[in-house]
């Protein structure tokens, strides 16, 4: 098993280019099933989740060429040989369930194992199924899989009890080929929803309201191929912003969309971290004064993203004073607190809140990544800690960060990957 060995790294400095978004590429790849024609996707992050989904689609008869050096995928779903996903592959990948909407729309059936992913809490698929049912689909569940069929999908008004990103995406993709008009009320408004809608529109879909809580989709008879460049990864960008702050560095972060980062930038400002727009897609992040403790609460967009909670906890653990983080999205997303405590952090968990008393210093030790974002948080803590930190279970991290160790090393970090 591979590990990261991280040493004290003060004052990271330089430029880092942000990769395409992990949370945007997976639904976009799924959406290519909606057409027989070739699609070209650019700025593809070379991540284990992406290669896993490509492998699963290839098993279903989809033609895929993934040029990793060019960060581009050519994909053509002319012949979908089967509508059943491989049980073992799909069970390890949360994004696997996103192919259900496109398969239902195009092939009128799908058989998908219940999805896997990080152990950060319950992420039921009931809202996805509720949406499909409203469109006229019938669902059966047996042996850990969902089998869903529909003779003809018909548009309807669908209210989501929670603004689920995955459910919003899945219902959007099912509805683009449905008969009539579909309205999703209390829809997710994340930037990744907008990116998916942009791609679907390039394919010929009729969608409006993306980025708001009400999305309207008017079904069309057929979609065609399209070319699309994936949006920058706002969570990777936020992670490198924390790297600048926690090491008291000065980093130019390239390929970012400032509006997508507003809640992150607001909390960095509260903590006294400086951000400066240098160019259209470049932000400078640095510190000039004493950092301040803050309170934050994770919320659906445009609130503070749950995926940035762990990196911020790492930063707040070394800021003198009391900070409070309240997690409202996932009920089991404080597993990394125990690992930070091993490094000397003072964190008290009370229900869905973490009370953090900043310490003078953290100390390097052996820790393990409990999930994707927790792993990124441990790297950040290790950069600021005294001595060496050994981080295991880094396969979690590599699900969402492309060569994070190489990017950090280029900025001056003491980090290496060992087998």
In this predicted model, which residue has the larger pLDDT, 125 or 388? 388
If asked whether residues 151 and 125 sit together in one domain, one would say yes
Catalytic residue among 39, 54, 107, 118: 118
Q: What is the pLDDT of residue 115?
A: 65
If asked whether residues 210 and 330 sit together in one domain, one would say no
If asked whether residues 358 and 304 sit together in one domain, one would say yes
Model confidence at 332, pLDDT cuts 50, 70, 90, reads low
If asked whether residues 116 and 225 sit together in one domain, one would say yes
Q: What is the pLDDT of residue 120?
A: 39
Residue 122 pLDDT exceeds 50 = no
Q: What is the mean pLDDT of residues 214-243?
A: 98
Q: What is the mean pLDDT of residues 135-157?
A: 91
39-78 pLDDT, tens digit per residue, is: 999 999 999 899 999 999 999 999 999 999 999 999 999 9
Sheet holding 157-159, edge to edge: 157-159, 181-185, 214-218, 206-208
Question: Based on the structure, what is the number of domains in the chain?
Answer: 2
Question: 215: which strand partners?
Answer: 184
Q: What is the pLDDT of residue 87?
A: 76
- Among the three residues 229, 253, 270, which one is the final residue of a domain in this structure? 229
Q: What is the DSSP string of 153-195?
A: -B--EEE-SS--HHHHHHHHHHHTTSBSEEEEET----HHHHH
Residue 190 pLDDT exceeds 70 = yes
If asked whether residues 193 and 267 sit together in one domain, one would say no
Residue 117 pLDDT exceeds 60 = no
- Among the three residues 179, 213, 229, which one is the final residue of a domain in this structure? 229
Q: What is the mean pLDDT of residues 334-353?
A: 93
Considering only CA atoms, which of 6, 13, 8 is closest in space to residue 249? 13
If asked whether residues 198 and 282 sit together in one domain, one would say no
Report the percentage of the chain scoring pLDDT > 70. Answer: 96
Residue 123 pLDDT exceeds 70 = no
Considering only CA atoms, which of 298, 281, 98, 300 is closest in space to residue 190? 300
- 120 CA to centre of own chain: 13
Q: CA dist 365 to 357, 373, 394, Å?
A: 20, 19, 15
> Could you give the CA distance from residue 205 to residue 198 in angstroms, rounded to a whole number?
9
Model confidence at 85, pLDDT cuts 50, 70, 90, reads confident
Would you call 118 a catalytic residue per the annotation? yes
Exposure pattern of 57-88 as b/e (b: 16+ CB <10 Å)?
beebebebebeeeebbbebbbeebeebbbeee
Tell me the H-state helices in 108-149: 126-134
Question: 17: which strand partners?
Answer: 254
If asked whether residues 186 and 322 sit together in one domain, one would say no
If asked whether residues 245 and 199 sit together in one domain, one would say no
Model confidence at 110, pLDDT cuts 50, 70, 90, reads very high
> Could you give the CA distance from residue 2 to residue 18 in angstroms, rounded to a whole number?
23
Model confidence at 405, pLDDT cuts 50, 70, 90, reads very high
If asked whether residues 140 and 262 sit together in one domain, one would say no
Average pLDDT, the chain: 94
If asked whether residues 29 and 7 sit together in one domain, one would say no
In this predicted model, which residue has the larger pLDDT, 140 or 189? 189
Q: CA dist 220 to 151, 173, 407, Å?
A: 16, 12, 43
> Could you give the CA distance from residue 289 to residue 272 in angstroms, rounded to a whole number?
7
Tokens of 136: 């006229």
If asked whether residues 131 and 144 sit together in one domain, one would say yes
Which burial class, exposed, middle or buried, applies to 351 when counting CB atoms under 10 A from its CB (0-12, 13-18, 19+)? exposed
Q: What is the mean pLDDT of residues 279-290?
A: 95
359-394 pLDDT, tens digit per residue, is: 999 999 999 999 899 999 999 999 999 999 999 999
Tokens of 144: 């850990």
Model confidence at 114, pLDDT cuts 50, 70, 90, reads confident
Asked whether 351 and 331 are in contact (CB, 8 A), the reply is no
- Among the three residues 206, 229, 252, which one is the final residue of a domain in this structure? 229
Domain encompassing residue 116: 25-229
What CATH number does residue 169 fall under?
A: 3.65.10.10
Residue 93 pLDDT exceeds 90 = no
Model confidence at 96, pLDDT cuts 50, 70, 90, reads confident
Tokens of 332: 């089991």
87-101, 148-162, 204-218: least confidently modelled range? 87-101
> CA 76, 171, 46 angle in degrees (round to 5)?
45
If asked whether residues 223 and 241 sit together in one domain, one would say no
């Amino acid at each position: 098993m591979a590990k990261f060995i991280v040493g004290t790294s003060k004052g990271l400095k330089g430029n880092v280019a942000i990769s395409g978004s992990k949370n945007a590429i997976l639904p976009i790849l799924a959406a290519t099933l909606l057409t027989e024609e070739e699609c070209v996707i650019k700025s593809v992050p070379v991540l284990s989740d992406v290669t896993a989904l490509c492998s699963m689609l290839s098993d279903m008869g989809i033609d895929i060429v993934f040029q990793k050096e060019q960060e581009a995928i050519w994909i053509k779903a002319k012949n979908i040989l089967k509508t059943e996903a491989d049980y073992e592959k799909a069970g390890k990948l949360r994004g696997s369930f996103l192919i259900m909407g496109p398969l239902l729309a195009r092939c009128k059936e799908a058989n998908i194992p219940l999805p896997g992913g990080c152990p950060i809490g319950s992420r039921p698929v009931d809202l996805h199924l509720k949406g499909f049912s409203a469109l006229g689909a019938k669902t059966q569940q047996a042996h850990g899989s969902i089998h869903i069929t529909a003779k003809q999908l018909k548009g309807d008004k669908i209210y989501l009890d929670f603004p689920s990103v995955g459910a919003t995406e899945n219902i959007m993709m099912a509805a683009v080929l449905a008969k009539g008009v579909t309205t999703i009320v209390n829809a997710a408004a994340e930037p990744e929803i907008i990116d998916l809608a942009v791609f679907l529109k390039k394919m010929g879909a009729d969608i409006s309201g993306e980025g708001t809580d009400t999305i309207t989709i008017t079904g069309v008879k057929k979609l065609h191929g399209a070319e699309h460049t994936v949006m920058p990864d706002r969570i990777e960008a936020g992670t490198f912003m924390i790297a600048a702050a926690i090491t008291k560095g000065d980093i130019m972060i390239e390929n970012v969309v400032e509006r997508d980062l507003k809640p992150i930038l607001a909390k960095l400002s509260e903590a006294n971290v400086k951000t400066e727009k240098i160019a259209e897609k470049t932000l400078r992040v640095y510190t000039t004064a004493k950092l301040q403790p803050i309170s934050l609460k994770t919320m659906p967009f445009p609130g503070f993203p749950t995926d940035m909670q762990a990196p911020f906890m790492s930063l707040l653990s070394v800021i003198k004073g009391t900070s409070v983080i309240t997690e409202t999205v996932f009920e089991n997303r404080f597993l990394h607190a125990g690992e930070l405590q091993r490094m000397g952090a003072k964190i008290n968990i009370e229900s869905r809140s973490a009370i953090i008393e900043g310490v003078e210093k953290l100390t390097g030790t052996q820790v393990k990544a409990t999930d994707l974002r927790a792993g990124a948080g441990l790297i950040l803590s290790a950069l600021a800690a005294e001595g060496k930190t050994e981080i295991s279970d880094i396969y979690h991290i590599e699900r969402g960060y492309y060569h994070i160790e190489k990017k950090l090393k280029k900025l001056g970090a003491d980090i290496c990957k060992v087998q």
